[in-house]
């Protein structure tokens, strides 16, 4: 895993391109390492993490490039809870083939825990399921107990 900081706005200038893989862009500044760890990007593939890059849209941002790795829907849901404005660019043969917004789906199942300690999903073996109440800011409600929490306060599984 390589990290670098304070790069210029144009990512291509400092972050070397990848042939096949995923570029996660527009991550909140300071969340890059956490997201990389959450995705288990510690070993194997080449991973480049950019921190505190200048962003015209958000001021500062983090960015992750990972070679030969494409995200599952579940992984996109996890990222969206932490980084609702993130985009996932799919690169194949050095060309960006697809640009996906990692929007929080209406229902997120098995990804994050309900923030209510007394919820049945935290007490017995019940798959947690959260419903998106609002997207800006991202607020999720448990479909079992109704408890609402901001996405940033949720514990991911």
Partner 1 sequence: MDFKHRDVVSIKDFSRPELEKIFETAEGMERKGYDKSLLSGKSVGLLFYEPSTRTRLSFDTAAQRLGADTIWFAGVEGTSVMKGETLKDTIETVANYADAIVMRHPYDGSARWAAEVTTARAKRGEAKVPIVSGGDGKNEHPTQTMLDLYSMVRTQGRIDGLDIAMVGDLKYGRTVHSLSYALSMYDCRIHYVAPDMLQIPDHVASFLSSKSVAFTKHSKLEEVMGKADIVYMTRIQKERFPDENEYNKVKGLYCINREMLSRAKPNMRLMHPLPRVDEIATDSDQDARAYYFKEAGNGVPVRAALLALVMGAVQ
Contact 114, 153 (CB under 8 A): no
- Please tell me whether residue 86 binds partner 1 under the rule CB under 8 A: no
Query: Which of these ranges, 13-21, 66-74, 89-97, 122-130, lies near partner 1 under the rule CB under 8 A?
Result: 122-130
Compute the radius of gyration of the chain from its Cα atoms.
Answer: 16
Residue ranges in 6-35 that form contacts with partner 1 under rule CB under 8 A: none
Is residue 107 part of the contact set for partner 1 (CB under 8 A)? Answer: no
Q: How far is the CB of 105 from partner 1 (least distance, A)?
A: 19
Q: How far is the CB of 108 from partner 1 (least distance, A)?
A: 16
Please work out the total of residues on this chain that contact partner 1, with binding judged by CB under 8 A: 17
Among residues 93 and 106, whose Cβ is nearest to partner 1? Answer: 106
Closest CA to 2 of 62, 43, 46: 46
Q: Which is closer to partner 1, CB of 3 or CB of 143?
A: 143
Which two three-digit tokens encode residue 59? 């001021």
- The verdict on 156 binding partner 1 (CB under 8 A) reads no
Task: Provide the pairing of β-strand 59-67 with 2-5.
Answer: unpaired
- Binding of partner 1 at residue 145 (CB under 8 A)? yes
- Pick from 93, 125, 136, 137 the residue near partner 1 by CB under 8 A: 125
Q: In angstroms, rounded to a whole number, what is the distance separating the alpha carbons of residues 41 and 127?
A: 25
d(CA 155, CA 58): 25
Q: Which residues contact 153 (CB under 8 A, 6 or more apart)?
A: 115
70 binds partner 1 (CB under 8 A): no
Question: What CA–CA distance (Å, rounded) separates 90 from 93?
Answer: 10
Q: Which residues bind partner 1 (CB under 8 A)?
A: 114, 116, 118-121, 123-126, 142-148
């Amino acid at each position: 895993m390589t990290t670098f900081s304070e790069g210029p706005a144009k990512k291509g200038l400092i972050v070397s391109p990848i042939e096949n893989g995923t570029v996660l862009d527009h991550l909140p500044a300071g969340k890059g390492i956490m997201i990389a760890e959450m995705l288990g990007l510690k070993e194997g593939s080449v991973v480049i993490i950019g921190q505190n890059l200048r962003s015209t849209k958000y001021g500062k941002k983090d960015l992750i490039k990972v070679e030969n790795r494409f995200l599952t829907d579940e992984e996109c849901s996890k990222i969206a809870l932490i980084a609702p404005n993130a985009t996932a660019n799919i690169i194949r043969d050095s060309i960006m083939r697809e640009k996906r917004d990692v929007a929080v789906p209406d229902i997120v199942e098995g990804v994050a825990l309900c923030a209510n300690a007394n919820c049945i999903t935290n007490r017995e073996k019940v798959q947690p399921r959260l419903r998106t109440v609002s997207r800006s800011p991202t607020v999720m409600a448990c479909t079992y107990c109704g408890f609402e929490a901001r996405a940033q306060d949720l514990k991911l599984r």
